[in-house]
Every structure is written in structure tokens, then in C-alpha cells.
């Protein structure tokens, strides 16, 4: 009960890439880079195990960014044709690559990484992929015409990849969909349908991660505009509860999401964000336990998996380690209370 996991990403060690930065450039090339990524993944497997994390990840050590790590191996994208786009409803304006032809995958993207990681841990292994809606909100379309159509095309590629990851021994496949919190009507119109396409034929556990973003400046400013109560989840939870996705990963630590909204997901496992990724302050186990106890007022403990609000990638390494330990210890605290 109260098995712990993390949203996905962890900081890159300073010898792999420049720390405390999203999109940091690699510090090695070729075979040396591959070895360095593997070494980094091993460090983080060990740190998660030592912290008492039950369902571990490779910390996204093999990719520069959670969306582009996947897109790099997709054909049909023109990386030189940059389009200026306001993503997440204009929260950031960036130059994004453009889809100019039908998208296709040149073989598996993360299969070898999953097989490598699988060989080094006895714990259950989670692997994260970008969700179709979030991909479509991070890339420009000069081919499909309708965002829903482009999402379905990417969902088919994600499905091939997910089947490959499952065959590699991955226990949980999670799709990261921060865009679900922004395009609330699209979630019901085509977002969940695209996720269903992405999980077709999978027998392993499936999850969707829906957060308010990394703890970076643009997101912190956005959150300040959302008012005293954040009710975005309320609009999408009924449709998510009716979906075939098994777990829903949410931002609950220091967030303004009313905990009672969790009642709208009675049939799902809840990956309960109990670690704030927007502060350098390391939570105490007691603070983590408090978030879990609040959630237990609305959700059976048997359906709660204490987790981080979002990825820990932009944080200093020591802070991330502290937060992993707090997560493990906080969950253990509540587990002992329940067993007493």
C-alpha cells in the first residue's frame, strides 16, 4: 500500500550536461555520450532504490527534453523549418520544428534504453513518453491541417513505441500530458481518444501525467493567474475516469487544487504529487505524510501512489536526492500508521 513512484525526470549529473537547466547540451559525444547517459541512469536507479521508491525510472537521462527526445527519431518533421508558436496557450513563445509530411518512426526510440535499465533493477520500472496532445502543442503543423488528426498520427507511433517498451520488460508506461490542463475541451473531443490509440494492445499498467508544469519562471507566473482554487482538473476528470488509462498523475503538493476533486476519479489509481518541484526547499517526511493523509480523506489508501508533482530535472542534484528521500520516508510514515 502507498507504493511510491516519481513523475519521471531527474537532474542530469554535471558531468553529463549542464545542471539546473532544461534543454542543457550534452557534454560528450558518440560512444562516450552513450556510456555517460547509462552511467547517469545507474546512479539514479540506485538513488531511487536507496530512497525507498518502489516504481523507478531511468530519470530521462537519455534524452535532452521529454518531448523532443521522442521526436528526434520521427520522420516527417523538418527541424530546419522553425515556426514561432505560443505553446500551452501562449504561456511560452518558442521556435518549434514543423511537421511537413506523414510522420513515421525510424525504429524504436527508447527500446535499448529500457532494456539497459531493466537489466539493472529488480524494482518495477516505469517509462515515460510524451502524450499526443502535448506533442501537437510543441510542434507546428504544415501537413495534417487538424490538430486532432496529427495527434492520431503521433498516437500510432507512440503505440508502436509503447509495445516495444512493454516487450523490454517495462511495467508502467506513462504519457505526459501537461497540455490536458490547458485545452480542456480538446481533452474530451480527441485527447483521450488519442491516448486510447497510444495504449492499444498494451497489457502493462498505463498512466497519464497531468501537471501545471516544471517549476520554471513561466509556469510559476502562469499559476499566479489561476486564482485561489485551481479547478482545471474538474473539467477533465469525469472523462478521464471513464477512460481506459489505469493511473492518473497529479500535482497536489503546495498546489491550489482542491483535494476533493480526487473524488471524481473513483476508478483510477492516483499518483499523488506530494513533492513540490517549484521550490529548492526539501520537504520533511511529515509534510509528505500530511499531503497523503489529506488525499486519504477522499481516496482509499489502496488507490494512492505517493509521487512527485512533476519532473525533478531542473533542480540541483542534492535537492532532488533530498526530495526522493522525503517521498520515501513520508509514505513509510503513513504506511506504519495504517498498519498500527
Contact residues for Zn ion (CB under 5 A)?
Answer: 211, 310
In the complex with Zn ion, which residue's Cβ is closer, 38 or 134? 134
Contact 31, 23 (CB under 8 A): no
Q: How far is the CB of 66 from Zn ion (least distance, A)?
A: 8
In the complex with Zn ion, which residue's Cβ is closer, 139 or 310? 310
Q: How far is the CB of 134 from Zn ion (least distance, A)?
A: 10
In the complex with Zn ion, which residue's Cβ is closer, 45 or 310? 310
Q: How far is the CB of 25 from Zn ion (least distance, A)?
A: 22
Contact 319, 282 (CB under 8 A): yes
Contact 240, 302 (CB under 8 A): no
Q: How far is CA 82 from CA 87, 96, 97, 141, 209, in A?
A: 14, 5, 5, 11, 28
Q: How far is the CB of 53 from Zn ion (least distance, A)?
A: 17
In the complex with Zn ion, which residue's Cβ is closer, 2 or 211? 211
Residue appearing with cell numbers 482554487: 229
Radius of gyration of the chain (CA): 19
> Among 36, 13, 1, 39, which Cα is nearest to 321's?
13
In the complex with Zn ion, which residue's Cβ is closer, 76 or 273? 273
Q: How far is the CB of 178 from Zn ion (least distance, A)?
A: 5
Query: What's the half-sphere exposure (Cβ side, CA atoms, 13 Å) at 156?
Result: 9
Amino acid at each position: 500500500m502507498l507504493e511510491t513512484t516519481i513523475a519521471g525526470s531527474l537532474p542530469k549529473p554535471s558531468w553529463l550536461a549542464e545542471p539546473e537547466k532544461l534543454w542543457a547540451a550534452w557534454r560528450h559525444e558518440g560512444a562516450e555520450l552513450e556510456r555517460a547517459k547509462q552511467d547517469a541512469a545507474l546512479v539514479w536507479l540506485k538513488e531511487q532504490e536507496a530512497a525507498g521508491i518502489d516504481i523507478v525510472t531511468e530519470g530521462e537521462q537519455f534524452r535532452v527534453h521529454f518531448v523532443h527526445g521522442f521526436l528526434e527519431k520521427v520522420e516527417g518533421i523538418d527541424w530546419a523549418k522553425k515556426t514561432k508558436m505560443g505553446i500551452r496557450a501562449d504561456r511560452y513563445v518558442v521556435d518549434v520544428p514543423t511537421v511537413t509530411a506523414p510522420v513515421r518512426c525510424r525504429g524504436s526510440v527508447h527500446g535499448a534504453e529500457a532494456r539497459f535499465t531493466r537489466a539493472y533493477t529488480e524494482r518495477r520500472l516505469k517509462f515515460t513518453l510524451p502524450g499526443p496532445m502535448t506533442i501537437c502543442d510543441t510542434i507546428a503543423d504544415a501537413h495534417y491541417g487538424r490538430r486532432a488528426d496529427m495527434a492520431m498520427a503521433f498516437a500510432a507511433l507512440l503505440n508502436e513505441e509503447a509495445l516495444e517498451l512493454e516487450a523490454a520488460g517495462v511495467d508502467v508506461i506513462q504519457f505526459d500530458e501537461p497540455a490536458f490542463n490547458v485545452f480542456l475541451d480538446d481533452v474530451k473531443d480527441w485527447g483521450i481518444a488519442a491516448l486510447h490509440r497510444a495504449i492499444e494492445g498494451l497489457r502493462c499498467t498505463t498512466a497519464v501525467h497531468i501537471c501545471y508544469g516544471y517549476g520554471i519562471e513561466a509556469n510559476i507566473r502562469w499559476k499566479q493567474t489561476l486564482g485561489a482554487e485551481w479547478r482545471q482538473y474538474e473539467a477533465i476528470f469525469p472523462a478521464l475516469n471513464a477512460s481506459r488509462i489505469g493511473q492518473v498523475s497529479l500535482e497536489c503538493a503546495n498546489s491550489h487544487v482542491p483535494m476533493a476533486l480526487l473524488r471524481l476519479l473513483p476508478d483510477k489509481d492516483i499518483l499523488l504529487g506530494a513533492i513540490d518541484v517549484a521550490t529548492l526547499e526539501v520537504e520533511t517526511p511529515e509534510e509528505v505524510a500530511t499531503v497523503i493523509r489529506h488525499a486519504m480523506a477522499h481516496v482509499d489508501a489502496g488507490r494512492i501512489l505517493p509521487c512527485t508533482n512533476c519532473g525533478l530535472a531542473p533542480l540541483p542534484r542534492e535537492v532532488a536526492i533530498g526530495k526522493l528521500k522525503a517521498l520515501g520516508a513520508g509514505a513509510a510514515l503513513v504506511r506504519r500508521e495504517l498498519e498500527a
